[in-house]
């Protein structure tokens, strides 16, 4: 598998070199389809590539073509383009079987041109196998299967909820439930600082530097896995308990470039929202993104909106009607109100009577 990664990386770099040189020297644009037509000739000239499954090689060129399409899209949009880069050793760590050439039987996986490999499934496979991606991560090997399964709608609960996210609390619901922010990265910063300092002192190219680099990578992997597990559990709970979940349509990538960048990347709102949407589709639930403007400044009782309503980070006092509440809870109620105005109107009329 290590040899296959090396060959795929070399093919990626050679294809990138060909496309770059063709444009620089002849002004010609070479497409991914053009390059795929020469795979047969490459195998004839370089016999080692006969040991790599044909669709795996095609996927390498599709991956490069996708990188160029993203580059041109960003150029057209006036964004920072980021020209596709050559992959150095250790920067190409996955191969994909996009359609065929793989199977699973019990605890044994088969891959064309590789053979049978013992594996430990994290959970039973369901539905029809579509793709398989072999990944090398921190010296360990993983395979990810994409399966086509039928949706499994959950029974209706008759409940709707608005969710306000933050860095003090991870999320606050309109039902008044506060979920603590675990701060996985912040809790690991001390250990990470020690390991990174140890890495910086090691001589480049030495075995000790490789070991120190692997230790840093494993710690980052642990933090990422902790965050992903927390997001999965939180999203699953919201989807199981509510027919509709509303949250703000935040520009997470833009917010991640501000003063609170470290805290925002640590909390990982973008990943959480993506998981929430995927789980909602599978469970037959509804997720609504609402406009985030003034949700923290508007009173959920009378609707009065001004900056002075937000007395402090956690306290909300309406300057018009005097309503007092936790600022994040008030924002969650506003989010639910924008997604389902009828729910909030009923609650308001009940409080008046």
Catalytic site residue 248?
yes
Q: Is the Cβ–Cβ distance between 242 and 159 less than 8 Å? A: yes
Tell me the CA distances in angstroms from 271 to 52, 217, 227, 234, one per residue in order.
34, 20, 9, 12
Considering the candidates 65, 164, 243, 266, report the single residue annotated as catalytic.
Answer: 164
Considering the candidates 248, 249, 291, 308, report the single residue annotated as catalytic.
Answer: 248
Q: Write the CB contacts of 46 (distance below 8 Å, at least 6 apart in sequence).
A: none
Considering the candidates 59, 243, 266, 328, report the single residue annotated as catalytic.
Answer: 328
Q: Residues 248-270, buried b or exposed e (16+ Cβ, 10 A)?
A: beeebeebbeeeeeebbebbbbb
Instruction: Give me the sign of the Cα torsion angle 121, 124, 129, 131.
Output: negative
Q: Is the Cβ–Cβ distance between 302 and 260 less than 8 Å? A: no
The distance of Cα 289 from the centroid of its chain, to the nearest Å, equals 18
Q: Is the Cβ–Cβ distance between 97 and 112 less than 8 Å? A: yes
Look at residues 251, 187, 256 and name the one whose alpha carbon lies nearest to residue 223. Answer: 187
Q: How far apart are CA 146 and CA 98, in angstroms?
A: 10
Look at residues 321, 322, 345 and name the one whose alpha carbon lies nearest to residue 333. Answer: 345
DSSP 18-56: HHHHHHHHH-PPPPHHHHHTTHHHHHHH-GGGGGS-HHH
Catalytic site residue 34?
no
Q: Which residues are catalytic?
A: 164, 248, 328
């Amino acid at each position: 598998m290590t040899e296959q990664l090396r060959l795929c990386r070399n093919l990626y770099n050679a294809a990138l070199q060909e496309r770059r040189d063709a444009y620089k020297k002849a002004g010609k644009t070479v497409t991914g389809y053009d390059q795929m037509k020469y795979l047969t000739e490459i195998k004839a000239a370089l016999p080692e590539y006969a040991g790599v499954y044909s669709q795996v090689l095609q996927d390498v060129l599709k991956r490069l073509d996708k990188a160029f399409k993203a580059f041109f899209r960003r150029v057209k949009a006036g964004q920072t383009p980021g020209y596709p880069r050559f992959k150095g050793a250790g920067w190409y760590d996955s191969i994909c079987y996009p359609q065929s050439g793989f199977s699973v039987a019990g605890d044994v996986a088969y891959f064309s041109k590789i053979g049978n490999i013992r594996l430990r499934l994290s959970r039973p496979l369901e539905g029809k196998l579509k793709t398989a991606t072999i990944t090398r991560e921190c010296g360990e090997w993983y395979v990810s299967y994409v399966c086509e399964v039928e949706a499994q709608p959950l029974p209706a609960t008759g409940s709707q909820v608005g969710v306000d996210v933050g860095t003090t609390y991870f999320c606050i619901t309109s039902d008044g439930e506060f979920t603590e922010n675990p701060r996985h990265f912040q809790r690991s910063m001390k250990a990470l600082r020690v390991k990174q300092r140890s890495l910086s002192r090691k001589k480049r190219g030495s075995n000790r530097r490789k070991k120190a680099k692997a230790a840093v990578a494993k710690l980052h992997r642990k933090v990422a896995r902790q965050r992903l597990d927390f997001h999965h559990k939180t999203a699953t709970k919201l989807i199981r308990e509510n027919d509709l979940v509303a949250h703000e349509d935040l520009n997470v990538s833009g917010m991640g470039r501000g003063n609170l960048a470290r805290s925002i990347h640590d909390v990982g709102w973008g990943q959480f929202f993506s998981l929430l949407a995927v789980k909602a589709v599978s469970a037959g639930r509804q997720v609504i993104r609402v406009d985030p403007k003034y949700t923290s400044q508007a009173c959920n009782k009378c609707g009065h909106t001004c900056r002075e309503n937000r007395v402090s980070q956690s306290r909300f006092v309406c300057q018009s009607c005097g309503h007092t509440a936790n600022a994040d809870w008030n924002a969650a109620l506003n989010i639910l109100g924008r997604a389902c105005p009828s729910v909030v109107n009923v609650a308001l009329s009940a409080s008046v009577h």
